[in-house]
Structure 1
Amino acid sequence: MRILLWHVHERWTTAFVRGAHDYLVPLVPDRGPDGRGRPRASPWPATVREVPWNRLRGEDVDLVVLQRPRELDLVRRWLRRRPGRDVPAVYVEHDAPAGNAPGTRHPLAGRDDIPLVHVTHFNDLFWDSGRAPTEVVEHGVVDPGHHYTGELPRAGAVVDDPIRRARVTGTDLLPRFAAAAPLDVFGLKVTGLPYRLRFPFGTFEDLPREKMHAELARRRVYLHPYRWTSLGPSLIEAMLLGMPVVALATTEAVEAVPPEAGVISTRVATLTDALRGFVTDPARARQCGKAARTAALARYGLGRFLSDWDRVLGRATGR
């Protein structure tokens, strides 16, 4: 099957393109949001081909994977085909709704010709999907390997865009967590050079993915401070590294982290106590980290993810 999709969420796409299909990613001259092409630093397989936007009309496309409302119009203009009518399409919703979350209506809620695929049950619960046919295909994550040493009696966290999205990411909570255990906060930098910022809780360091994984695995416990999100792939990656988890019980984390893998709660005092406990008890941290890795492999492995997606794609195309 030849699938057209945009390079939007790199970690999700890195897992998706491991399937047994051919993948076309649009390319615009400045590699902007409408056509980023292949990432220069990511190991995508040769089955992923970037195609200049003005040549897409000549491509034989079997199915379109949509991820943003604007792509509905891009398909009409660039392929001269209507998604869901002239070409099969599915829409992947990566994000939880913003604003009035329980009352937020999805952009596809008014149509029934494009399946709406949520990446978590949390998303499916909160979006008002209207009459769009919906299902859930949970994340699949490329396994970074079991690299946990926990040699540093410190907590590690990954927070994307910690200033602009401070309330969403729980940045305002970090000083309270840092008072309970030494805390190092990282961000994922896809391109360019690493940089460091000074915050009230300590240092924020932006690193490439492999370096970030290596640094996280040296910390004794992983902190997931997000108040509102779908499910951050960084949490799953930390579990795959073999790290025990301390997380707010406000997202899909309540499903992702079993009791034997860490502590989740809406009470900050419970979470700060858990951080102290893991930092001072390396044997327990290591045991919980092993359980976290086992749980993540079972639930978010690539085999299950790609098999689920093949079923979705087969139904959408009638194959």
Structure 2
Amino acid sequence: MKNSNRLNIFTWHIHGSYLYYLSQGDFNIYIPVKENKEEGYYGRGETFPFNDNVIEVESGDVRFLQLDCILFQTNANYLVDQYEILSEEQRKLPRIYLEHDPPLKQPADTRHIMNDPDVCLVHVTHYNKLMWDNGVPMVSVIEHGITSSPATYSGHLNKGIVVINHLYQRGRKLGADIYDEVRKQVPLDLIGMGTEAYGGLGEVLHPDIPAFIGQYRFFFNPIRYTSLGLSFLEAMMMGLPVVALATTEYSTVIENEKNGFVHTDIDYLVDKMKLLLDEPPLAEKIGLAGKQTVEQKYNINRFTKDWETLFHFVIDNTKSSNHEKKISIY
């Protein structure tokens, strides 16, 4: 039975950390489950401490749910999954496509796969929105939001930490070559799924990451081309000074020498890593400034309010039969 006091949102479990932060909003999130646990059908899992508003539903029972909005997160969700598990009536509900990534092949000339003018396209950074050829009238940006961390920064390990899953399988885009180059000059540890075979420390579960990385002097992000990483913001939230390439959205978040270090010159970044290793008080000062940046710009209250506002906008807009009244929300 539908809860009349809260919106009922249906989506797939795609990015666990993003789903966790989204679930901090005042709405119910239904996610499908399949026995084989294929992508998007994992259910709640055991990694994230989801609240009761994240509700598992067997995939075959999804068509019987009373929902307010459908949230797509991948091409497969939009092109395949919706036709397999949603009813015809549910496929006419208010719909949002949440795009997590920038275009991967031709950044300035890639048309987004979702081309339905009745569906709202949401990006997680302004850079992503800028680079996609969006092609639909309703386009929005909801920047990340994260919760505060109970863990504290100590920085007592005189080395840097890198957090990337399957780094070497993902190659140059994720900066595997940059990581290899930098670790010859600066002591670095690597955590993430699939990293043990390459000298990394393996996976650290998401709830344990803040306390683990808080021991390190700085956080290094070698990624050339991706969205603004949640792990990067989580590091900043706990006061861990950050070093990154000045690409995609990172150059708009970090102000050099104040709340972190960003550059496209790897030698510059290496020099700043060495500076942080040599001067712990400077690392603490820059980390504190980074924490203040995230608290102001990426706080969870702003994030969930943005989502609640968008859900209501799309729902109200869909109720109108006059499609010409739809407005762009760039």
Q: Structure 2-normalised TM-score?
A: 0.89
> Unpaired runs of 5+ in structure 2?
1-6, 318-330
Q: CA deviation at 1:118?
A: 0.1
Check conservation: 1:149, 1:219, Cα contact below 8 A. yes
Indicate the residue corresponding to 1:143 in structure 2: 148
Indicate the residue corresponding to 1:106 in structure 2: 112
**1:226 to 2:231 alignment:** no
> Unpaired runs of 5+ in structure 1?
none
Counterpart AA for 2:157: L
Q: 1:162 aligns with which of 157, 167, 170?
A: 167
**Deviations 1:153-174, CA, capped at 9 Å, x for gaps:** 1111112221111201111012
Counterpart AA for 1:118: H
Indicate the residue corresponding to 1:86 in structure 2: 92
Distance 1:255 1:195 in 2: 30
Q: Structure 1-normalised TM-score?
A: 0.92
Which secondary structure does the structure 2 equivalent of 1:102 belong to? Answer: coil
- Counting matched residue pairs gives 309
For residues 82 and 272 of structure 1, do their structure 2 counterparts lie closer, same or farther at Cα, with a shift above 3 Å needed?
A: farther
For residues 164 and 4 of structure 1, do their structure 2 counterparts lie closer, same or farther at Cα, with a shift above 3 Å needed?
A: same
Q: CA deviation at 1:132?
A: 4.1
Residue correspondence of structure 1 range 44-193 to structure 2 within 5 A:
44-72=50-78, 73-81=80-88, 86-108=92-114, 110-187=115-192, 189=193
Indicate the residue corresponding to 1:198 in structure 2: 198
Which secondary structure does the structure 2 equivalent of 1:81 belong to? Answer: coil
Q: CA deviation at 1:87?
A: 0.6
Check conservation: 1:66, 1:90, Cα contact below 8 A. yes
Distance 1:184 1:270 in 2: 20
Q: 1:261 aligns with which of 252, 259, 262?
A: 259
Higher mean alpha-carbon deviation, 243-252 vs 28-37, is at 28-37
Counterpart AA for 1:198: Y
Which secondary structure does the structure 2 equivalent of 1:180 belong to? Answer: coil
Higher mean alpha-carbon deviation, 277-286 vs 259-268, is at 259-268
Distance 1:198 1:123 in 2: 31
Distance 1:245 1:161 in 2: 21
CA RMSD in angstroms comes to 1.8
Counterpart AA for 2:10: L
% identical equivalent positions: 29
Which secondary structure does the structure 1 equivalent of 2:35 belong to? Answer: coil
Q: CA deviation at 1:115?
A: 0.5
Q: CA deviation at 1:34?
A: 4.2
Check conservation: 1:5, 1:65, Cα contact below 8 A. yes
Q: CA deviation at 1:216?
A: 1.2
Distance 1:71 1:198 in 2: 33
Higher mean alpha-carbon deviation, 265-274 vs 210-219, is at 210-219
**Deviations 1:199-224, CA, capped at 9 Å, x for gaps:** 4xxx3432222333222111111111
Counterpart AA for 2:218: V
Q: CA deviation at 1:281?
A: 0.4
Check conservation: 1:106, 1:127, Cα contact below 8 A. yes
**Deviations 1:140-196, CA, capped at 9 Å, x for gaps:** 123223510011111111122211112011110123322332111111x5xxxx973
Q: 2:22 aligns with which of 16, 25, 47?
A: 16
Distance 1:22 1:221 in 2: 37
Q: CA deviation at 1:38?
A: 1.0
